[in-house]
Structure 1
Amino acid sequence: TMQFFKCTLVMVEEVGGKDIPFSAITVEWLQKCEKLWSKTRSVSTIGMHMRNIRTLMNEAKRAGVIKESQYPFGKGLFEIKTGIRRKKGLTKKQLKAIFDYKSGNETTNRYKDLWIFIYLCNGINPTDMLKLKFSDIVDGEICFVRQKTERTTKNRKEIRATISVQMQAVIDKWGNKPLPDNYIFPYMKGNETAIEAKAITRDVVKRINKRMKLIGEELGIGNITTYTARHSYATVLKRSGVNISYISESLGHTD
């Protein structure tokens, strides 16, 4: 969140320079930002940063720094646009081709196997995957709470994913020794700061995406990412007629 807000600050300073007073944030000023940013950024990205600005304006309003009449967001004022991104889930046939794929390169095989683990483990977020410990395995299930929603939802939602034969094979091949305090995969040590842990996750995601892009090109599937694994998990279940509420629950969605 800190890094994200820093990025918003850099973007805002592109438009308004340093030390921008809250009173300067008007509907017209936000429209100016939107117009400038749209030259190099998507509607979704702009929307995310606009929501950060709105958060700060809400704080300013609560603190009495600006009056209600100065608040620029809302109906008839500045309305934040949301981008509609077409999410593409893979078919079972495409997934089978990935599962069956074998490379002569060990590194490619390792990151392909991690991608498969993400898919099979309820489309787990890479951040959550790298924080899994052997102590999270209970009665043949991996139990975890999404870091993304851990602090933002009142009810702590535990996700359970049954360990399949393929998942166990990935753990046996690329995992640490199966001791309770050990992370399942050998990337985190446990003494990292939040920023260091984020950097490790980004690096692993980058490596998985790089190898999966090559595999996708070779198989004629197109670009494959860690997010493709998560979305394909949900899509395959949906196409198979599985109840939406179950899919939502297994992904850890709050609604």
Structure 2
Amino acid sequence: MASVTPFLVKRPNSKNLHPISIRIIKDRKPSYIYIGQSIKLKQWDTKNRRVRKSHPDHLEINQLILSKLSLANKSLINAEIEAQDLSSKKIKNQIVSKYDNDFFKVAESYLVNIRNRKQFHQLDIEIGRIAVFREFIKNDHLHFKDLNVELLKQFEHFLLSKRNLVARTVANYMITLRTIYNLAISQNITKKELYPFGKGKFQIKFPETKKVGLNREEIKTLENLTGLTQAQEYALYAWLISFYFAGIRISDVLQLKWADFYDERLHYRMAKNNKLVSLKIPDKVSKILSKLEREEHSVYLFKELEGINLNDKKRVRTRIKTATRNFNRRLELVAEQAGIDKKMSMHIARHSFGNISGDKIPIQMLQKLYRHSSVTTTMLYQANFLRKDADEALDMVIDF
């Protein structure tokens, strides 16, 4: 006798979620197939052995469970017809080889995990990268054993020559493929011996990126610029506030509230890592605050998120993405009017602070200003703007 049933693992994982598994019992010996999805305990219907409607992706996950059950039952039926003596482990291996060993099936599970974390910006990016890989493969199925070094090299060439992508973007595509492959290994879907990444195989190379920021004179020009339209001035205010607070990210700038400014300090929580930050309000920021229009019931310095529920992560991300695009378009016009030939965007405010601070500020203090978790991250970032030692060393050699 054999049985195949879905069940929820009682022990939660590191994220306090419970993995969903298919349990196969044959001759009293169990084997387990983890479907790659984890949910909260209250989202599992114990009686019907399915995900409750309270989970946003219950339809997709329940369909995945049914697919696994169907494959397991077919393996049992075929074994009985052919009088095969299959153990629960062999049945599991048959299911894995027929279903899970498809790269794009694991990719679907990977995307669902991102969606469950409500990381919608990353979700859009990863969906696009997987779609491009599928276009390259020209097939909806790819066995992991076929995702080898040669195929990765061909895909890299495709991205560089056909898609005309820069090396850094190509590296990001390869990271997506590697992440999905690692997910397959962690779920025992494919073997470590087949892993095509790493030393002696396909190595993902990260090219040095050139970070260009504005200098002091260029920022002074922006501070004294006149003749801008109201929309251009509005975008410039957002850029300057970002710069004055050591390069606050645009997502944080747009979420700054009037109530965050008190006791001559700015108090806010970073969207990226949820850290609390408190910074002195520079006089230059106070002048901008006095110029910004504040309506009677307005909450935010900048109006883009007014009336939006911040718990609706997808809508918030869409609004921020649209606002960033609009600000960057206006900033390009501002730079043109200011006679600045560098590409100007909201993110350049962060690079500009790094460029001007150079080696004038201790690295530990810069770490605090940048809100980096590790001083190593600060050192790597600031290395883009430290030129004094190299310049002096060059002069010492050629100045004769």
Instruction: Using structure 2 for the length normalisation, give the TM-score.
Output: 0.58
Q: 1:225 to 1:213 in 2, by over 3 A?
A: same
Q: 1:80 to 1:176 in 2, by over 3 A?
A: farther
Q: Which has the higher strand share?
A: 2
- The Cα of 1:62 is off from its aligned counterpart by 0.7
Q: Whole-Å Cα distance in 2 between the matches of residues 139 and 89 of structure 1?
A: 31
SS of equivalent residue, structure 1 residue 73:
coil
The residue that corresponds to 1:32 in the other structure is 154
| Aligned counterpart in structure 2 of residue 247 of structure 1, from 366, 374, 378 | 366
| Aligned counterpart in structure 2 of residue 211 of structure 1, from 330, 349, 352 | 330
Contact kept, 8 Å, 1:31 with 1:78, in 2: the verdict is yes
Contact kept, 8 Å, 2:228 with 2:334, in 1: the verdict is no
Q: Whole-Å Cα distance in 2 between the matches of residues 100 and 196 of structure 1?
A: 36
The residue that corresponds to 1:3 in the other structure is 124
Q: Is the aligned partner of 1:182 residue 2:319?
A: no
SS of equivalent residue, structure 1 residue 144:
strand
The residue that corresponds to 1:167 in the other structure is 285
Contact kept, 8 Å, 1:90 with 1:232, in 2: the verdict is yes
SS of equivalent residue, structure 1 residue 77:
coil
The residue that corresponds to 2:88 in the other structure is none
Q: Whole-Å Cα distance in 2 between the matches of residues 79 and 87 of structure 1?
A: 24
One-letter identity of the residue aligned with 1:109? E
Q: 1:175 to 1:168 in 2, by over 3 A?
A: farther
Q: Whole-Å Cα distance in 1 between the matches of residues 143 and 292 of structure 2?
A: 53
- Map residues 44-63 of structure 1 onto 2, 5 A cutoff: 44-63=168-187
Greater C-alpha Rg:
2
SS of equivalent residue, structure 1 residue 142:
strand
Per-residue CA shift, 1:8-36, capped at 9, x if unaligned? Answer: 11121121132333332211111111100
- Map residues 1-255 of structure 1 onto 2, 5 A cutoff: 1-16=122-137, 17-39=139-161, 40-150=164-274, 157-174=275-292, 176=294, 182-188=299-305, 189-191=307-309, 193-222=312-341, 223-239=343-359, 241-255=360-374
- The Cα of 1:242 is off from its aligned counterpart by 0.6
Q: Whole-Å Cα distance in 2 between the matches of residues 178 and 22 of structure 1?
A: 59
Give ranges in structure 2 of 5+ residues lacking alignment. Answer: 1-121, 375-400
Q: Whole-Å Cα distance in 1 between the matches of residues 132 and 268 of structure 2?
A: 35
Give ranges in structure 1 of 5+ residues lacking alignment. Answer: 151-156
Contact kept, 8 Å, 1:176 with 1:186, in 2: the verdict is no
Q: 1:175 to 1:75 in 2, by over 3 A?
A: farther
- The Cα of 1:86 is off from its aligned counterpart by 1.2
Q: 1:21 to 1:95 in 2, by over 3 A?
A: same
Give % identity: 22
How many residue pairs match? The answer is 247
- The Cα of 1:96 is off from its aligned counterpart by 0.2
Q: 1:177 to 1:244 in 2, by over 3 A?
A: farther
Q: Whole-Å Cα distance in 2 between the matches of residues 109 and 184 of structure 1?
A: 14
Contact kept, 8 Å, 2:250 with 2:347, in 1: the verdict is no
One-letter identity of the residue aligned with 1:219? A
One-letter identity of the residue aligned with 1:229? A
Contact kept, 8 Å, 1:25 with 1:72, in 2: the verdict is yes
- The Cα of 1:254 is off from its aligned counterpart by 2.1
Q: 1:219 to 1:184 in 2, by over 3 A?
A: closer
Q: Whole-Å Cα distance in 2 between the matches of residues 246 and 60 of structure 1?
A: 42
Instruction: Using structure 1 for the length normalisation, give the TM-score.
Output: 0.88
Contact kept, 8 Å, 1:112 with 1:212, in 2: the verdict is yes
SS of equivalent residue, structure 2 residue 177:
helix
Q: 1:175 to 1:70 in 2, by over 3 A?
A: farther
Contact kept, 8 Å, 1:103 with 1:109, in 2: the verdict is no
Q: 1:37 to 1:86 in 2, by over 3 A?
A: same
SS of equivalent residue, structure 2 residue 330:
helix
